[in-house]
Structure 1
Amino acid sequence: MIRRAAAAVLIAWALGFLWFAVALPGPAGAARTDAVIVPTGAAGRIERGLAVLGSGEARAMLVTGVDPEVKPAEFAEQFGVPMDVMECCVSLGFAAVDTRSNATETARWVSRRRVRSLRLVTTDWHMRRAAGEIAEALPDGVEVVRDAVPSQPSLRILVLEYHKLLASTAARIVA
């Protein structure tokens, strides 16, 4: 009996991991939202968020989880953002240190700005967990468009992120 249960759990884990690794989310199509949210982390996220902002598909951008040592002028210089765009449209969030606190920081920013729709830009392997955490923290009625940045994750990253997704999902179910 115990062997069968263990085998069932192992098979469920393996099938779930296979789905997670093979069916990574992709980029969103053209969609206008009030804001674009970019958690710091893997390469390509900030650049994609700035492209969305620059194309007019969003009117404001929050980069959440920025190192407190980073100054807006340094950020603008590193990513080629004109200062007038920084002042009007780009917010740097310094409070977050992980995905859960990215969600909290995002929810506060969204509430203050009365955002009704947002585009979440993060890496493909991070999208499911980040979107789940953010959706849980957001006020009711805020639409989230998922815009995943394609990557080439290692097996190590995929296994680690899959376990984080399982833990995050379990924590939301229990709460």
Structure 2
Amino acid sequence: MFRRFVSFLLLAWLFGFVWFAVALPGPLGKRHTDAIIVLTGSSGRIEHALDVLHAGEAPVLLVSGVDREVKRGEFAAQYKVSARLMGCCITLGYKAYDTRSNAIEAGEWVRRRGARSVRLVTADWHMRRAFLESAREMPAGVTLLPDAVPSRPSLSALFLEYHKLMARQIIALWGS
């Protein structure tokens, strides 16, 4: 009986990991929202969020998890953002240092802004956990939409992220 139970758990873990690795979330596409939140990290995330902002699909953008050493002018120069757009529409968030704190920073920003619909931008392999964390921190009534940036994650990155997601889901089930 014990071996069957362990075998079942092992198979559930294996099939869960295969699903996680093969069925990565994709881009949202054209959809207007009240705000965009992008989590810093792997390449392509900020560029994609800025493309969405330039396309007029949302009026404001929070870049969560910016290094404290990065100045607004440096950010603008690196991503070729005009002073006008930096002044009106882009908030650099310096409080976050991991996915959990990204979610807290984003939730506070959305609360202050009064946004009702938010596009969450991060890498495809990171989206499920980032979405789980962010959804928990959003004010009631806010629609959170995933907008995953396609990437080519390594097997080790997928393995680590799968286990972080499983751990976070277990913690959530226990009411933390």
SS state of the match for residue 165, structure 1?
helix
Residue 2 (structure 1) aligns with: 2
Mapping of residues 49-88 of structure 1, within 5 Å: 49-88=49-88
Any residues of structure 2 matched to 1:20-169 within 5 Å, and which? 20-169=20-169
Separation in structure 2 between the aligned mates of residue 53 and residue 174 of structure 1, nearest angstrom: 38
Q: Deviations over 1:141-169 (max 9, x none)?
A: 10111110000110000000000110111
Distance in 2 between residues matched to 1:77 and 1:168, nearest whole Å: 37
Distance, in Å, in 1 between the alignment partners of 2:163 and 2:132 is 14
TM-score norm. by structure 1 comes to 0.99
1:100-150 deviation per Cα after TM superposition (whole angstroms, max 9, x unaligned): 000000000000010100101100000000001000111111011111000
CA distance in 1, matches of 2:73, 2:168: 35
Deviation for aligned residue 1:5: 1.2
Structure 2 letter corresponding to 1:23: A
Question: What residue is the counterpart of 1:172 in the other structure?
Answer: 172
Paired amino acid for 1:154: S
Structure 1 residue runs of 5 or longer lacking an equivalent are: none
Residue type at the aligned position of 1:35: A
Moved over 6 A (4+): none
Distance across 1 between alignment mates of 2:50 and 2:171: 32
1:156 is matched by which residue type in structure 2?
S
**Local SS of the residue matching 1:163:** helix
Shift of 1:58: 0.5
Amino acid at match of 1:158: L
How many residue pairs match? The answer is 175
**C-alpha deviation, 1:2, in angstroms:** 1.8
Corresponding letter in the other structure for 1:101: S
Q: How far 1:3 sits from its partner (Å)? A: 1.2
State the identity %: 57
* TM-score normalised by L of structure 2: 0.98
